[in-house]
Structure 1
Amino acid sequence: MMKNKKIAFFIDSLGGGGAERVVSVLSNELYSREYDIDILMLNRRPVAYPLPEGITLYIAEDMPVTTTWGKLARKFLNRCMHLQVRFLNPLLRKFGCTTYPKVNETRMYFYANYALPYREYLKNNKDCTAFGFLIRSNIAMLMAAKGISVKTVFCERNNPVRPDMPRNIMKIRDGIYRCCKAAVFQTEDERAYYTKLRCESAVIPNPLKEGLPQPFTGERRHEIVNFCRLNKQKNIPLLIDAFEMLLAEYPDYTLRIYGRGEEKDSLIALTKEKGLEKSVFFEDFASDVHERIRDAAMYVCSSDFEGLSNSMLEALAIGLPCVCTDCHGGGARMMISGHKNGILTPIGDVQALYNGMKEIIENPALAQHLSGEAAKVRDELSIERIADRWEAII
């Protein structure tokens, strides 16, 4: 049977981030295999990753709703949301209720602003395979596809029970994901959560980006690194606390953290509060971060939960000795075997994280062994191999 050659990726944006990078890497590879690729985004943000000119980008707010029914539905839903903000929410507050959902976390908002324009796209592209990345885009895609004969693939990109996800969004997701025709997960832990899934599913790890530098084999700088989106799930305060303990014994070491995010200002303030400004440094997102860190002493991930961390995979691939928390979602545990190609520590355990970093510093032979074993991930996660597995879903 001939494969469908039209693919639509639904995602929040193509700004910096792990899922965004995976979509860009897959799009480039599948486009080179002569697939027709469209990328549909919820939000208007600068595109952080290179894409071929032949890939078409859509933004939900720019996509027209042309049918009479669609226009009436959007008008009605917008009026309902206006009534919620103007009258219902103040009334609930008056009676002491503080748990009502925000307007942009309701089914009405998703349907009016995302599902309606996406629905017109899917009606005009019934021959495509539609992949949803990130929870909000999955919801919008599956809402839009109801009643349309199109193959929809639900793609989980994080810990399904992440504590920072609004409960109303999780409730909508858990009610709609069963409508998908297939599902892709990064880890077995993620797949195990969706017990009512009845469609075909696959566990496919993230591909490595192309052009990563080769592993460094010389004497490493006395610097510990991390590069990630600076939000609460990364638990960077834990890393700073563990490094503070390490610094008391190894004052010539520094900690350098690359990335952007809502926690950055508070993390800088925490560093100043601890008097670590001369030892802990924050850098912006850098496209050449791998070249900058390849000769560092180690990479340390302190996350509380992840899907499958791209920064961890890339650190392994360039041969950095890695210390990672065994975070919820199972990604670190799937890729790292204790003291074979990295060191795993319990979530939130500052003493264990400190011990892992100290062990790498004090045992150069172990550091060299971890580096060599870690780099073997390059073959396993090459874009060619991973794209083959995605292609099997189409």
Structure 2
Amino acid sequence: MDERASLKKKHIAMYIGSLNKGGAERVMCNLAEYFFSIGYRVTLVTTYLSDDEYDIPDAAWKVLKANNGKNAVKVLNPDEDERYVDLKGGAPVGINRVFSALMPYEKGSRIQNFTKRIDKLTNIWETLKPDLILSFLGKNNVMAIQSASGLGIPVVVSVRATPSEEYPSFGLNTSMKFLFPKAAGVVVQTNGAMDYFGAFIKPKCKVLPNAINEEFINHEVVPFDDRKKVIVSVGRLDENKNQKILIHAFSHVVKKYPDYRLMIYGDGPTRNVLEKLCGSLDILDESGRGLPGKVTFKGSVDRIADRISEAEFFVLTSRTEGMPNALIEAMSLGLCCISTDCPCGGPADLIENGKNGLLIPMDTDVTMAANICHALDRLMADLPQARQMAGAALEVREKYNPDRVNNMWREYFEELI
């Protein structure tokens, strides 16, 4: 394809902090690949180059191990350490990438830095001239609208979690309330998230759910009766994901069902605390082999569908969630799922309590741990009921099929463009 033909394509710029392995980042990567696959020009604009990023098969850039070669470009990781990329070292005609972090020599005072970040983004938009800007998450959304002001480029911002969590401070919340009415659209994942916004923003809102990753849609569904006696948890190990209540629940239920084991996938700041908790409860599998009656921390891994597909149960323990990818994916593999009924309503949008999974009401950690224990006990004692719920959960494969959801995004963007 010649350059002139390429320039005639519709062009979307997608803006986010980095492509670090998280739920919002994965959705943006999937959207980038989808729009590129149907003929759009796509440019990913990120502040940083994370050290643990999702792989983009059609990436036009290549990460370099050092400053080697004439095409090496210096960028920063989220800790502001130097990293290097070759922006043309990947696919010859692929998804492009631009970095927006202020380099050390560009920085001034705190107030000057904010203005410089806005100016740098404005220059990026003026250079790229995209037909639409899509931004994800918190401060990025505010900066995207402000930096594109007056350029005539429609900006769609997306709130990926509970709005009050993404805009917690007075200053950020005030900026959001002032700038969001100027956006072309505000994408949220649940009706509960849309209800957060007032009269000037709510008419701009569009509910667009997450699509199930192709890895899960294409994966075989293991018959429930052939599954292993395993409970799995998948997600970042932090206070919001609140895995400690699952550990407490497991420590009680495993006394009655000693053949079960708990596999925790993910990493994060609370890992040491959680491992110590398991040690104090004498349920930590320090061998890492997944011994019955023990908890194994598996860390951050690739090909998660292969690793959890033979488990019987999946448990989500979050305090807040948007539309939880891990829950959709577990349901799509036919696991029997239990989730906290947390704001802003993502699990409740997915689970019809008692039909295709179980919802645990929000309460104190002690009460929720007890309720998860009771739920696991109930299902382990009645595996035919667990099998029935797991089978019903497979309906998400149709409702959140990538073709269906991606088409919703495409139709929405084409209306705005």
Length, aligned pairs only: 355
Q: How many angstroms apart in 2 are the aligned matches of 1:164 and 1:284?
A: 29
Q: Which is further off, 127-136 or 328-337?
A: 127-136
User: What is the Cα deviation at residue 175 of structure 1?
Assistant: 3.3
Contact 1:225 1:298 in 2 (8 A): yes
Q: Which is further off, 145-154 or 260-269?
A: 260-269
Larger relative contact order (C-alpha < 8 A, sep ≥ 6)? Answer: 1
Deviations 1:137-169 (A, max 9, x none): 212212211222110001010011229955543
Aligned to 2:371: 352
Aligned to 2:55: 49
Correspondence 1:39 to 2:44: yes
Correspondence 1:241 to 2:248: yes
Q: Counterpart of 2:404 in 1: which secondary structure?
A: helix
**Match among 304, 308, 315 for residue 330 of structure 2:** 315
Q: Counterpart of 1:205 in 2: which secondary structure?
A: coil
Aligned to 1:284: 299
**Match among 122, 128, 132 for residue 131 of structure 2:** 128
Q: Percent identity?
A: 26
Cα separation, partners in 2 of 1:254 and 1:166, compared to 1, 3 Å: farther
Correspondence 1:8 to 2:13: yes
Deviations 1:274-305 (A, max 9, x none): 22213111112111121111111200001110
Correspondence 1:257 to 2:273: no
Gaps of 5+ in 2: 1-7, 59-90, 286-293
Cα separation, partners in 2 of 1:190 and 1:111, compared to 1, 3 Å: farther
**Match among 193, 197, 212 for residue 194 of structure 1:** 197
Cα separation, partners in 2 of 1:280 and 1:171, compared to 1, 3 Å: farther
Q: How many angstroms apart in 2 are the aligned matches of 1:260 and 1:167?
A: 31
Gaps of 5+ in 1: 65-70, 82-106
Q: Which is further off, 260-269 or 309-318?
A: 260-269
Contact 1:25 1:383 in 2 (8 A): no
Structure 1 length-normalised TM? 0.85
Deviations 1:54-101 (A, max 9, x none): 00112212799xxxxxx9xx76xx23x2xxxxxxxxxxxxxxxxxxxx
Q: Counterpart of 1:341 in 2: which secondary structure?
A: coil
Q: How many angstroms apart in 2 are the aligned matches of 1:166 and 1:253?
A: 43
Correspondence 1:138 to 2:145: no
Q: Counterpart of 1:238 in 2: which secondary structure?
A: helix
Q: How many angstroms apart in 2 are the aligned matches of 1:236 and 1:174?
A: 33
Contact 1:29 1:383 in 2 (8 A): no
Contact 2:138 2:166 in 1 (8 A): no
Structure 1 residue runs of 4+, over 6 Å off? none
Cα separation, partners in 2 of 1:22 and 1:249, compared to 1, 3 Å: same
Q: Which is further off, 9-18 or 248-257?
A: 248-257
- What is the one-letter code of the residue matched to 1:45? S
Structure 2 length-normalised TM? 0.80
Cα separation, partners in 2 of 1:249 and 1:110, compared to 1, 3 Å: farther
Aligned to 1:381: 400
Please show how residues 260-275 of structure 1 align to structure 2 within 5 Å.
260-275=267-282
Aligned to 1:21: 26
Q: Which is further off, 330-339 or 257-266?
A: 257-266
- What is the one-letter code of the residue matched to 1:211? E
Aligned to 2:214: 210
**Match among 153, 167, 172 for residue 169 of structure 1:** 172
Contact 1:21 1:49 in 2 (8 A): no
Contact 2:9 2:39 in 1 (8 A): no
Cα separation, partners in 2 of 1:37 and 1:199, compared to 1, 3 Å: farther
Deviations 1:90-122 (A, max 9, x none): xxxxxxxxxxxxxxxxx7644423x22111111
**Match among 119, 122, 125 for residue 119 of structure 1:** 122
Contact 1:316 1:374 in 2 (8 A): yes
Aligned to 1:370: 389
Q: How many angstroms apart in 1 are the aligned matches of 2:9 and 2:406?
A: 15
Contact 1:187 1:334 in 2 (8 A): yes
